Amino acid sequence: MQKVSLILKIVKVLAGMVKFNIVYHRKAARMVKEITSDFNLTSVPQLPSIARLKMQWYMAEFAYICETMNRLSGQRSSAEQKRTYYLSGALAAISDLIIDDMEMDEARIRQLKHPAEDFKCQNELERLYIQCYHAFLNSLDKSMRDRVIHYGGLIFEAQLRSKQQFRPDISKEETDKICRDKGGYSVLFLRALVSGPISEAEENAWVELGAFIQYCNDAQDIHKDLHRELKTFATVRTGIAEIEQDLGQQMTRAFLLLRGTDYEQKKKDFFLLTFYVMYLGILAKLSAFSRICNQEFSFESFKARSKAEIRASTSAPRLFPFMMARAIKFTYQTAPIPAGESI
């Protein structure tokens, strides 16, 4: 019966992921269209063609994580809260675009950290940022505004530091610190949007989970980041084996701290299972990356592969058997499994 119950939970997790890819993204796409309709973003020459798609991904991911946190604490998200969650993702994406893609000096960027409503904008992207910033602040419950602004400021600073990831001489330790800060502060920011006090122990747990999520994102984006010459958690390691080992260790840290929080055990169980399945999806992709290189993975050989070949090798039907074979071994007491399991 326990195995049947676990399989049903895994199916529920997978259904949530499908919902993320369909329902959340559709909602995000509609909101992107809504909030950008009065802006001529084509007038901003440095803005990448995928700017709106980037906003959509951030918005869907932020809303999904916030609602998952609400369920962990036994709360339901109201329509007003959901809109706030999506706006938070829009704000983060636009901030990312300004910092990464616009040719602006740091002093100018810092003026956008906490801008007034009458901020003198230089282009349409800045104008969109100001509108989203104040729409987001105005949507917040006054009781949580101060902590949201605090954690939002930490994300902003972490995003600024992330420009250093394009330095060819940046060290592994510096890269990991930047990635940890980006991920950790992002998840703390999202937790600040969810009702309820945040203890020091819980804060530490969210930082570690945020780092884990950022590392997972870096692991699946290796091909893109190699072409961008961006140093990330994944690209500063020696290869697949080291990425898997360090990713597993980070998951262990995050899971242990989350298991020690005061949330109801059954809800923690399902919450951890959700992120464990996500982790298995990343391991499955890493296994596919190695297979593409005929089990002799190197960053040079992987970079030379086409996007089409990588997409084909990481399709859901190909990843699913790998994930399920390991997901059904999940138990709350032993999760996560030891890093370095043979794949």
Q: Tell me the pLDDT tens digit for each residue of 150-164.
A: 999 999 999 999 999
Q: Which amino acid is at 126?
A: E
Confidence grade of residue 324 (pLDDT, cut at 50, 70, 90): confident
Whether residues 104 and 208 share a domain: the answer is: no
| 144 domain residue, yes or no | no
Whether residues 132 and 213 share a domain: the answer is: no
Whether residues 134 and 12 share a domain: the answer is: yes
d(Cα 22, Cα 30) in Å, to the nearest integer?
Answer: 12
Last residue of a domain, one of 118, 139, 160: 139
d(Cα 290, Cα 79) in Å, to the nearest integer?
Answer: 43
Q: Which amino acid is at 4?
A: V
d(Cα 287, Cα 291) in Å, to the nearest integer?
Answer: 6
Task: Note the pLDDT of residue 22.
Answer: 93
Q: Tell me: the pLDDT tens digits for 168-198?
A: 999 999 999 999 999 999 999 999 999 999 9
| 145 domain residue, yes or no | no
pLDDT-above-90 percentage for the chain: 81
Task: Note the pLDDT of residue 339.
Answer: 47
Identify whether the C-beta of residue 59 lies closer than 8 Å to the C-beta of residue 95. no
- Tokens 């330095």 appear where? 167
| 164 domain residue, yes or no | no
Whether residues 85 and 203 share a domain: the answer is: no
Q: Which two tokens stand for residue 118?
A: 């009458």
Q: What is the tally of structural domains in the chain?
A: 2
| 182 domain residue, yes or no | no
Last residue of a domain, one of 93, 120, 139: 139
Q: Tell me: the pLDDT tens digits for 259-296?
A: 999 999 999 989 999 999 999 999 999 999 999 999 89
Whether residues 218 and 318 share a domain: the answer is: yes
d(Cα 296, Cα 16) in Å, to the nearest integer?
Answer: 35
Confidence grade of residue 316 (pLDDT, cut at 50, 70, 90): confident
Task: Note the pLDDT of residue 331.
Answer: 74
> What is the pTM for the complete model shown?
0.92
| 150 domain residue, yes or no | no
Q: Tell me: the pLDDT tens digits for 34-56?
A: 999 999 999 999 999 999 999 99
Q: Tell me: the pLDDT tens digits for 185-231?
A: 999 999 999 999 999 999 999 999 999 999 999 999 999 999 999 99
Identify whether the C-beta of residue 32 lies closer than 8 Å to the C-beta of residue 90. yes
| 241 domain residue, yes or no | yes
Task: Note the pLDDT of residue 327.
Answer: 87
d(Cα 223, Cα 310) in Å, to the nearest integer?
Answer: 9
Is the pLDDT at 1 greater than 70, yes or no? Answer: no
Task: Note the pLDDT of residue 341.
Answer: 43
Whether residues 132 and 217 share a domain: the answer is: no
Last residue of a domain, one of 112, 139, 166: 139
Q: Which two tokens stand for residue 337?
A: 């499994």
Is the pLDDT at 115 greater than 60, yes or no? Answer: yes
Whether residues 240 and 339 share a domain: the answer is: yes
DSSP 49-67: TTHHHHHHHHHHHHHHHHH
Helix (H, G, I), strand (E, B) or coil at 73: coil
| 135 domain residue, yes or no | yes
DSSP 173-217: HHHHHHHHHHHHHHHHHHHHTSSS---HHHHHHHHHHHHHHHHHH
Q: Which amino acid is at 227?
A: H
Whether residues 123 and 256 share a domain: the answer is: no
Q: Tell me: the pLDDT tens digits for 67-79?
A: 999 999 999 999 9
Whether residues 204 and 332 share a domain: the answer is: yes
Whether residues 236 and 314 share a domain: the answer is: yes
Query: Which of 15-19, 126-130, 186-190, 212-216 shows the lowest per-residue confidence on average (mean pLDDT)?
Result: 15-19
**HSE of 329, CA atoms in CB hemisphere, 13 A:** 12
d(Cα 266, Cα 310) in Å, to the nearest integer?
Answer: 37
Structural domain boundaries enclosing 22: 1-139
Buried b (16+ CB within 10 A) or exposed e, 44-73: beebeeebeebbbbbbbbbbbbbbbbbebe
Whether residues 79 and 199 share a domain: the answer is: no
Per-residue CA distances from 212 to 42, 218, 234, 254, 333 (Å): 35, 10, 12, 7, 20
| 120 domain residue, yes or no | yes
Whether residues 204 and 343 share a domain: the answer is: yes
